[in-house]
Structure 1
Amino acid sequence: MKDLILKNALCKIKDGDDLERERVIRHYQPYIQNVVSHICKRYINWSSDEASIGLIAFNRALDTFDSEKGRTFLNYAFLLIQRDLIDYFRKENQHYQLSAMSSSEEDRREYKDQSKASLEIFKQSKQASSLVEEILELDEILRKFRISFEELENHCPKHSDTRLGLLEMANAFIESQELVDELFKKCLLPIKEFTRKTGYRPKNIERHRKYLITIIVIKLNPEWTHLSTFIAGGTGSVKK
């Protein structure tokens, strides 16, 4: 569904148009099912509890999405589905532990295996959720620089030596608070001032401007532990 059509549909839904809500849900049913299957690491049919949780979360996203916060609707819906499934995995794990207390030895082994599997899925989903939140926060900042994730992959240098060189360049940039302040004040990379302070070639900076800005932003937010690992050794791109 195109952005403008989806935007109009969301407006109708918030105005109480139930037919429009059903139409949007039907359109995105494959998306919901694919997201739930991706998070659960296995195929999930539409009649499962996990799919129902995904549907409820998607329906809530229709009511609570705010385009002013700089996120796309599908990213927001993904985040809500993931959070609800994580809560579900946590509760299921507790349920298995309680049930095992009054079961036979065979049942206890089965519950133990199920609990272990559920907990592993929970841990994986929690890590994925944390990464998604970091990406959404980064995405919100990059939009101010008119940079989108869709184009980042094309701007990622293919050679590791180039990526390492840009990482060093980013480190040199953030050493100057004056350059950092100028970057966020105008939402533009101060190339002239940067080259004057460091001696880097302007053409090289401009060629990799979007990738360099992305690295700088990540370096300035060390609390993004998952994203930081992508650039720590010049390993490459950040993907959704």
Structure 2
Amino acid sequence: MEDYLPFIKKQITGMQDLMLEYDDMLSLAMLTFLNCIRQYSPQKGNFLSFCKTCIKNRLIDEGRKQMGYRSKVIAFEPKEEEEAGQISDAEAKVSWQLYEKDQERNALSEEIRLLSDALDAYGIRWEELPRICPKQERSRKNCLMIARAVVEKPDYKKELLRQHRLPQADLAAQLGVSAKTIEKHRKYIITLAILLMGDYPGIRTFLPKYREVN
């Protein structure tokens, strides 16, 4: 999955006017790229152009939500050089890697499908992940700590798997975290716990905010 990072990082370049933190933009761009893998079909044209447009539009939308940013959403139209079949060396290299790793992309798409199904049982939609992810690094670390506690203690894990809920009072008492905080980030904590328990190596290594769950 690391092979895709240069292409994704390139899409963030020039988006500083959105006033979003770089790590937040990168994580959002990665989530959008994963969604593109899931949603792409040949009818949507060139895969890289499709991803490029989706990523930039998603970042603009987030900028509008966070900072009241106003700008036109980029229309999905191939550039003249793309129409003529002329792309930069960097894009050509990434494009070749994407096609060469088509089987790996299919495997990742299957991971996304399986994770989406798992999250659905808890009332969590894949599309919610960018929204429910805490903005502050400290909050993300606390959520990871809570998720680890759920997975490592059999009683907590059993309650999550069987009753589809977190033992919030017990977790608050054990970890010294307020029950309100656990409730506020409940969906994100559950998502991390599922990632910890399940077989999702591609997603965990691909998303910076989930790498810590390895």
1:209 and 2:186 aligned = yes
Name 1:179's counterpart in structure 2. Answer: 156
RCO higher in structure (CA 8 A, sep ≥6): 2
In 2: Cα distance, 1:173 partner to 1:198 partner: 11
Name 1:192's counterpart in structure 2. Answer: 169
In 2: Cα distance, 1:150 partner to 1:117 partner: 26
Counterparts in 2 of 1:192 and 1:124: CA distance versus 1, 3 Å:
same
TM-score normalized by the length of structure 2? 0.53
Structure 1 stretches lacking a partner, 5+ long: 1-29, 44-115, 235-240
Deviation per CA, 1:101-138: give whole Å up to 9, x if none: xxxxxxxxxxxxxxx99973444323322221111111
Contact map agreement 2:116 2:126 (CA 8 A) in 1: yes
Counterparts in 2 of 1:42 and 1:203: CA distance versus 1, 3 Å:
closer
CA RMSD of aligned residues (A): 2.7
Deviation per CA, 1:208-234: give whole Å up to 9, x if none: 00011000000111x311122221248
Name 2:115's counterpart in structure 1. Answer: 138
Counterparts in 2 of 1:118 and 1:205: CA distance versus 1, 3 Å:
closer
Q: How does 1:34-73 map to 2 (within 5 A)?
A: 34=44, 37-38=46-47, 41=48
Counterparts in 2 of 1:198 and 1:160: CA distance versus 1, 3 Å:
closer
In 1: Cα distance, 2:95 partner to 2:128 partner: 36
1:225 and 2:204 aligned = no
TM-score normalized by the length of structure 1? 0.47
Amino acid aligned to 1:129: N
In 1: Cα distance, 2:94 partner to 2:170 partner: 54
Counterparts in 2 of 1:123 and 1:162: CA distance versus 1, 3 Å:
farther
In 2: Cα distance, 1:190 partner to 1:202 partner: 10
Shift of 1:184: 1.0
- Greater Rg by CA: 1
Aligned residue pairs total 129
Deviation per CA, 1:130-169: give whole Å up to 9, x if none: 2211111111011111111222221111122221221122
Counterparts in 2 of 1:226 and 1:192: CA distance versus 1, 3 Å:
same
- Give secondary structure in 1 for the equivalent of 2:101: helix
| Percent identity over paired residues | 28
